[in-house]
Structure formats: structure tokens, C-alpha cells
Amino acid sequence: MILLWYILIPAVAAPLAWLLSLSRPQAARWVAVAGTSLPLALVTWQWVAQAGALRAAFAAHGPGVAGLVQGTWLADIHAAWISPLGISFFLAEDGLTLIMLVLTFAMGLLAVLASWRGIQERVGFFHFMILWTTAALAGVFLSLDLFLFYFFFEMMLIPMYFVIALWGHEKRVYAAIKFFIFTQASGLLMLIAILALYFIHGRATGTYTFDFTQLLGTQMPSATAFLLMLGFFAAFAVKLPAFPLHTWLPDAHTEAPTAGSVILAGVLIKIGAYGMIRFMVPLFPQAVYDFRTVGMVLAVIGIIYGAVMAYAQRDLKRLVAYTSVSHMGFVLLGIFAWNTLALQGVVLQIVCHALSTGALFILVGTLQDRVHTRDMTKMGGLWAVAPRMGGTAMFFALASLGLPGLGNFVAEFLILVGTWQVSKWAAVLGAVGLVFATVYALWMMQRAFQGEETHALRFNDLVPRETGMYAALIAALVVLGFYPQPLIATVRQTVTSVQQITAGSPLSPKPTSAVQVGIPADRAPAAAAVADGTTTDGGR
């Protein structure tokens, strides 16, 4: 039942916020705070309470399809919905879902807090949209029925469109339509792929179902599989976004209000990564393997091109938006590398990017509220005006360039070391991307915060509400930088399961005994962990 609450609480809070705002606009904010922090508390409680269960499930069932299907879910709901068509209301939660839910609600809460001053028009409707998005996002991460997944996937599009189109900046309508068309068109390709998969599976087995766990391993000609995989890839690559399908993102991020950018960068684009890990690769491992080189090339181009483009921008928000393209390149690279190191890195990158980029967007938002521009050529020397803001910006710029000691570094390191084992050149070029990241991050600091105060801007430094938000984000990034293990342990089951599903394909090479042989004697405990199946690619 708990899973239903994750969707219902924000879904119920949404109209409530709107209704209450009719008499008192401020009430909508508090409803929205409750509507996001309540499920956040719930999922955090579940995380803490089930940490043991996650480990136990892992030990008892081991990794693998068997474990995945036979009730190693932390919780699930399997109700009939449109039975004649094989559509069920199938929600389930594992470690990865849990992390994505934490992220969804945390970013939702952050979005609400970040709009406290910035949003003054149609306050109730705004929070209605934010809560609606949150509910739909929770649904996306919880659904294991492909029809239901698609339903939520489309659901979240509408409020996001309105958030950009109604509360955005100068070119908001253009950006909103672009966002809508990109996502919608690629989503339709995925729908076609889903339907094709549904019919192929139905004809072959006689069971027409959208249940993802049953669709796994559907037999079909490899050319068909490749086409269907491309359908999924289109939808997820647009969301992620992967080069060259990224051009909606700079516009949407830049024109969206701060809350919109936070949710977009923090959660929405992560659906691309989540969808690939959860659905695309497990459904079509062989096709993904055939596509690997192309995928990795796109990822590497995304990393470097995104970073150079970030450097090229004059608009501060656009700069931050392009850094997302670069960072999501790492995610794509890790997914195509498809081994434990890389996948753990991907999940960590999803979380850390949400925190660091979310913070940067909020920072740009607070700056824009104060100086009424995002044009960096009209800034300069702001550190002297607002030193706390300068220091905060410095911190998140450093997180963005992957400084060791912050979570982003561990994530990128894991992705690259995992990628190295698959493709050395991709790893090398990805590492070169880190140099370009340094260039844009320091450039941003220089243009906006260092140098002489050329434009005589005067404004207040961070207020306590803002300081509090940043402090929480900073603390989280530092903890993830020095002790990411809780997060790694939470998703370990998922990471091994999905690899187990694809174990039959060349995507997951059989573990060689060399792994054990190479480990020196004093690291025997680690070797035992390897034998436990926690570590090697694919499993036994």
C-alpha cells in the first residue's frame, strides 16, 4: 500500500493547493511543502527501515531474474486494471526506485522552496502543476507495467509544459512547445515499440500482457529487436538528453522558472537513464550490444561538446543547462558500459548531478531575482557584493567539475573506470571531458563573481531560507563524496539483477577467474565479496 501513497499524497495535495489558494495564496505553498515533504519523510523512513531488508533480500535470493520476480521487491502492488488488454496496475519498488523516489520528492520540495519569493502570479495553479508533476514522476518510477509507465510518462509532460509556458522567461512559449514536441514525438516512438513488443510477445506465447517482467526475454528476430530498441532509445535519449537530441534542453532549462529547471534537471531528465537501465537494456540486451559503439560515441561527443558549449554561453542559466548535457553524457557512457562499476557510477551520478545542478539553477534563479539578468557580460565582481553567494557558487562549480571529495567525483570515476574495461578510448575521451569541465566551471566563476564590480550592482546576500537549502545540498554532496556506500548498497541488488537479466548476451561478459586471481592476499575479504556475487559483471 505504501507505494500508492507516494503517488496519492502529491496527487491529492495538488487540487487542494489550488483550492486553498483561492482564499489565501500563501496556503498553496504550505500545502505543497506538505505534499512533497510527507512522501519524502515516508520514503526516507522506508529506506532506513528496509536497509536491512535490502541486504537480506540480496543475501537470500542472490542477484538475478529469480530474485527480481519472486518478491525481492521492497513492496509491490499488482492489481488488475484493464484485464482484457493485459494491462495491470503493477507498481513495485526496489533499491533503484527508492533512490529515484527520494530524489523526486527532495527535488519537488526544493522546487517549492526555491519559488517562495520568485513565483507571485497564479500561485495556486503553479503549485498544482508542481505537485502534479511530482505525482506523475513517482508513478513513472514505480510502474512496471509498460502501459502504466507510458501513461505516467505522458502525464508528467503536461504540467511541465504549463510550468515553462506560464511562468517562464522571455522565450517561454517557444521553449515549452519545443520541449513538448521533442518529448512527445520521441515518446510516440516508444509507444510504437511497446505495442509492437506487446503483439510479438502475445503472438508467440498467447499471453497478451504489458507486464514488464513477463515481456523480458521475448524471442524475436534481431532486426526487429534493434528497431524496437531504437524506439525506446529515442524516447530516453531525448529525455536524458543525448547528443544530438539535446537541443530542447538548453531552451527549456533556460526559459523555465527556477522550480521548473530544478525538476527538469534533477528528476525529469533522469527518467532517460532510469528507463534505459530498467527497461531498454534488459528487454533488448543483444540490440543494445550491437548499438554500443554508436551509443558510446554519442555519449563521448555529448560530454565534450556539452562542456565546450557551456563554455561558449553568455547566459548563465544556459551555461548550467549545457553542463547537464555534458554530465548526462557520462550517464549514457556508463549505461552502455553495463558493468557493476559503471552502473553504480551512473546511479550516483544521477543523484549527485541532481544535487549540484539543482543548486546551480537555484543559485542562478536567486541571482536573476536580484540583478534581473542572466547575461554574464552584465555581471562581474559579484563576490565582493555577496560573498556567501560567491562561496556557494564556487562550491557547486567545483562539484560540477568533479572535484574529489564530492559525490560527483566518485560517480564519474566509477563510470570511467567501468567504461575503461569495455572501451579504453571512450574512457580516455570521457576523462578529457573533465578538463573541459574545469574550463567552463572556472569561466563561470570568473565572469560572474570575480574581477572588478563593473556594473555597480547592489543586492542582498543569501537569506537564511536560501542558506539552509544550500547547506543541506552541500552536506549531501560531501557525505556522498566521502561515504557513498549507503547509496551503493541500496542499489546493489538492482544493479546485479539487471546484469543478471542480460547475462545471456555479449553485453555482460562472463566473469573470468582472473578477477579473483589478481587480488592480493591482504584483500581477501574483498575477494570473498566478489565470490558473493556482489561485484563481478554478470554474476555466476
Partner 1 sequence: MLQLLWIIPALPAAGFVVLALLNRHLGRRAAAVIGAGSVGLSAVVALLVAVSFIASPPPGDVYRQVLWTWFDTGGLAPQIAFYLDAMSVIFVVVITFVGFLIHLYSTEFMERDEGYTRFFMYMNLFVASMLVLVLADNLLLLYLGWEGVGLCSYLLISFWQRDLQNVYAGRKAFIVTRIGDTALIIGLFLLFTQLHTLAIQPLMAGAAKEWPVGSGFAVAAAALLLGGAVGKSAQLPLQTWLPDAMAGPTPVSALIHAATMVTAGVYLIARTNVLFTLAPDVRLAVAIVGTVTLLYACFCALAQHDIKRVLAYSTMSQIGYMFLALGVAGWSAAIFHFMTHAFFKALLFLAAGAVIESLGGEHDIFKMGGLRRKLPTAFWAFIVGAASLAAMPLVTSGFYSKDLIIETSLGSVDGNAWLWLGALVGSLLTSIYAFRLVFVVFFGDQQTPVTRRPRWRMLLPLWVLSALSLIGGFVWLPEWMGSFHPLENFLGEALPPLKTVASSFAYTGVSALLTSLVAVVGVALATVWLVESRAALGDFAARPTPHALQEFWLNGWGFDWLYEHVFVIPVKWFARVARNDLVEPAFSGLAWLNVQAWRALSASQNGVLRVYIAVAGVGLVVILAFVVLR
- For binding to partner 1 (CB under 8 A), which residues are involved? 243-244, 246-247, 250, 308-309, 311-313, 339-341, 344, 381, 383-384, 387-388, 391, 398, 403-405, 409-410, 413-414, 416-418, 420-421, 427-428, 431-432, 434-435, 438-439, 442-443, 446, 449-452, 482-485, 488, 492, 515, 518-520, 522-523, 526, 529-530, 534-537
Nine cell digits for residue 368:
536573476
CB closer to partner 1 out of 279 and 383: 383
Nine cell digits for residue 362:
537555484
Nearest distance from C-beta of residue 530 to partner 1, angstroms:
6
CB closer to partner 1 out of 194 and 406: 406
Give alpha helix (H) positions in 206-284.
Answer: 212-215, 222-239, 248-255, 258-263, 270-275, 281-283
SS3 247: coil
CB 41 within 8 A of CB 102: no
CB closer to partner 1 out of 12 and 301: 301
Nine cell digits for residue 271:
527518467
Nearest distance from C-beta of residue 339 to partner 1, angstroms:
7
Nine cell digits for residue 144:
512496471
CB 304 within 8 A of CB 429: yes
CB 159 within 8 A of CB 140: no
Nearest distance from C-beta of residue 312 to partner 1, angstroms:
4
Dist. CA 275–CA 175, nearest whole Å: 24
Dist. CA 337–CA 56, nearest whole Å: 28
Nearest distance from C-beta of residue 393 to partner 1, angstroms:
13
SS3 245: coil
φ, ψ of residue 406 in degrees (nearest 5): -115, 155
Closest by CA to 119, choosing from 11, 252, 265, 262, is 262
CB closer to partner 1 out of 210 and 409: 409
CB closer to partner 1 out of 222 and 532: 532
Q: Identify how many contiguous H helices and E strands the chain contains and give both numbers.
A: 25, 2
CB closer to partner 1 out of 144 and 389: 389
CB closer to partner 1 out of 22 and 528: 528
CB closer to partner 1 out of 121 and 452: 452
Nearest distance from C-beta of residue 436 to partner 1, angstroms:
8
Nearest distance from C-beta of residue 341 to partner 1, angstroms:
4
Nearest distance from C-beta of residue 25 to partner 1, angstroms:
35
Nearest distance from C-beta of residue 451 to partner 1, angstroms:
4
354: CB partners within 8 A, 6+ apart: 103, 107, 265, 266, 267, 270
CB closer to partner 1 out of 123 and 304: 304
Dist. CA 340–CA 491, nearest whole Å: 11
Nearest distance from C-beta of residue 343 to partner 1, angstroms:
9
CB 460 within 8 A of CB 467: no
Nine cell digits for residue 44:
526516507
Nearest distance from C-beta of residue 131 to partner 1, angstroms:
32
Nine cell digits for residue 274:
532510469
CB closer to partner 1 out of 152 and 395: 395
Nearest distance from C-beta of residue 375 to partner 1, angstroms:
13
Would you say the C-alpha torsion 511, 513, 517, 522 has a positive or negative sign?
positive
Dist. CA 481–CA 483, nearest whole Å: 6
CB closer to partner 1 out of 206 and 520: 520
Transcribe 156-198 into DSSP letters.
THHHHHHHHHHH--TTHHHHHHHHHHHHHHHHHHHHHHHHHHH
